[in-house]
Structure 1
Amino acid sequence: MSRNVLCVDRSERIGGVVDAVEAEDGLTAVRAPSVEAARERLESESIVCVVTAYDLPDGTGMDVVGAIRETASQTPCVLFTDVAPSDIDTASFEEVIVEYLNRDLPDAADRLGFVANDVIDHSAQVGFLAPDDEGERLEALAAYDVAELPIEESFDRLTDLIASHFDAGVAFIGLIERDEENVLSCHGAEMGSITREDTICTHSMLEEDVMVVENIHEDKRFSGNDLLVNLGIVSYAGANMTTDDGHVIGQVCLIDFEERRYSEAERHELQQFAETAMEILDLRQAVRAERPLEVAR
């Protein structure tokens, strides 16, 4: 996947920032000469890191940090400025990965690309969005003891049925763990685990309703995803597997190798299949724990 770095600075000096970023192999600079332009780029393009000045024509770098928190809070930010940290409201750093680099240092420009690459590589949550309840969600997922549950055959039958019902190339059931999606059953392809940076389900799980991508090549979020492109994936539909407490722990998904639309009725049916997968998990967990099963859906 390409590494687009959003460079935010005044017009008269943004060129130097762009040159410094692109001097590092694997990084592509995206220009934004203002806070407003930065907001637009964050909403329209796949950005893996932001390098921002502090003094901007229509605000400060902290406004850019705020925009990151609103649109993609796991995207790391490098504050490239000559303003001292003591003069910056550090409360704005909350929930955003921020690295400070003083642009007055003699080797600052030479180090900027390296610093950007480093925060991309070593920030634990960089590259994907996470729901607000991520900690509680992971606890809810861990409570299912999936490795010990006899669900493989049931899920295989379910994915066979889903693929046949929708006449889809691939149907799969995946649980979304901390860093990857663990595919428990897949009809039509060999799939084991997918990093959360690469799986569309990272985005789909944030939607309340079934998410459909009719053509990933026309969607800026996924058109640069080499894994999806190399697999020949074109269309996607995903429905949430949600616990009784409201935590999304997995997805039931359809993949096809051509552009495809899904009607409202088909989306509703896919959600019903996701609820069925969740009920299977609940049933197997209840039997294993030898406790009464409470189904309230």
Structure 2
Amino acid sequence: MSRTVLCVDTEERIESVTEAIESEDNLSAVSVTSAEAAADVLEREPVVCVVTAYELPDGTGMDIVRAIRERAPQTPCVLFTDLPPSEIDTASFEETIVEYLDRGLPDAEDRLGFVTNDVIEHSAQVSFLTPEDEGERLDALAEYDVEELPVRESFERLTDLIASHFDAGVAFVGLIERDQENFLACHGADLDTLTREETICTHSMLEEDVMVVEDITRDKRFSENQYLENLGVRSYAGANMTTDGGHVIGQVCLIDFEPRDYDAEERAELTEFAEVAMETLDLRQALREARARDDAEVPAEPGPDADVATAEADR
């Protein structure tokens, strides 16, 4: 599968950059010659990486980096320039993966394709967005003894109901751990875990309301996701499972194998199903904690020597 790379450079240099990118079998190039045109491409087209010069007719490469950070911060960027790093405002690199390649090196254009592939692979391995309360969120999730709670059958019934209600191919309940999403139940597919990089829920959990992706192949965040493509996933809807403390610990989601939208009523209904899932988890956890307290309060049965010891004490 070809990876689309946005190349941004001056009219005099753009052709050589494009040729260097397309010399790699798995890369294809979309080329523009201004920061404004680059921002337009980032807004409407899915790209997996941006290769940009620093000096542009209407701005700098840092304008491109800022545009990436605002629109899709998980998209890596290669800054291909002969300007030394000391003269570049690297503070703009925050929250965006940026690789610097010195254009003045003798083999710079020969290396460009390799460096681009490498930064794409690196971003896929380590880059995913996290909520601002990620630490507290993980602590809240850890308070649920999920492995000990008898919730699987309840959630299996719930996902069966959700899939039937929405006439969807797949419905699942997943908890989002530090590095992966663990599925408590899944109707319509054999899903156990997904990495945070692979699952759409990494993005959905950041939304206050239900997140809907009508057509994944037309969404720049997911169109290059090989795992989703292999599954045949085309549409997605996800609602947050939120604790009483306001932390999102999981998702109730729908997946289908054709483009699909969800109206306001359907989104509200999916939110209600997510609330049911959260209430189920809370109830089972409360019952388990209550049983643990009761067990701790029950006095131990006296042993066979208890009466003898009591008699000795009375003397």
Report TM bin, short chain: 0.7 to 0.9
Q: Which one is further off, 172-181 or 226-235?
A: 226-235
After TM superposition, give the deviation of residue 257 of structure 1 in Å: 3.4
- 2:285 aligned with 1:285: yes
Per the alignment, residue 250 of structure 1 pairs with 250
Runs of at least 5 residues in structure 1 that lack an aligned partner in the other structure: 293-297
Q: Is the 8 A contact 1:2 1:225 kept in 2?
A: no
Per the alignment, residue 58 of structure 1 pairs with 58
The TM-score, its normalising length taken from structure 2, stands at 0.82
Q: Is the 8 A contact 1:74 1:125 kept in 2?
A: no
Superposition pairs of residues 34-45 of structure 1, within 5 angstroms = 34-45=34-45
Cα distance in 2 between the residues matched to 1:46 and 1:206: 20
Q: Which one is further off, 142-151 or 56-65?
A: 142-151
* SS at 2:118 equivalent: helix
Superposition pairs of residues 107-256 of structure 1, within 5 angstroms = 107-123=107-123, 124-126=125-127, 128-256=128-256
Per the alignment, residue 87 of structure 2 pairs with 87
Question: Relative to structure 1, is the Cα distance of residues 143 and 62 closer, same or farther in structure 2, using a 3 angstrom cutoff?
Answer: farther
Cα distance in 1 between the residues matched to 2:160 and 2:168: 10
What's the CA shift string for 1:195-229, capped at 9, x where partnerless? 44443333333332222334445545445544444
The TM-score, its normalising length taken from structure 1, stands at 0.86
After TM superposition, give the deviation of residue 141 of structure 1 in Å: 3.2
Q: Is the 8 A contact 1:214 1:259 kept in 2?
A: yes
Aligned residues: 291
* SS at 1:236 equivalent: strand
Cα distance in 1 between the residues matched to 2:112 and 2:223: 27
* SS at 1:105 equivalent: coil
Question: Relative to structure 1, is the Cα distance of residues 50 and 137 closer, same or farther in structure 2, using a 3 angstrom cutoff?
Answer: farther
Question: Relative to structure 1, is the Cα distance of residues 100 and 233 closer, same or farther in structure 2, using a 3 angstrom cutoff?
Answer: closer
Identity of aligned residues (%): 72
After TM superposition, give the deviation of residue 147 of structure 1 in Å: 3.0
- State the one-letter code of the partner of 2:30: V
Q: Is the 8 A contact 1:49 1:76 kept in 2?
A: yes
- State the one-letter code of the partner of 1:18: T
Cα distance in 2 between the residues matched to 1:273 and 1:133: 24
Cα distance in 2 between the residues matched to 1:13 and 1:87: 21
Per the alignment, residue 275 of structure 2 pairs with 275
- 2:254 aligned with 1:265: no
Cα distance in 2 between the residues matched to 1:48 and 1:215: 17
Question: Relative to structure 1, is the Cα distance of residues 259 and 4 closer, same or farther in structure 2, using a 3 angstrom cutoff?
Answer: closer
Cα distance in 2 between the residues matched to 1:105 and 1:155: 58
Runs of at least 5 residues in structure 2 that lack an aligned partner in the other structure: 294-315
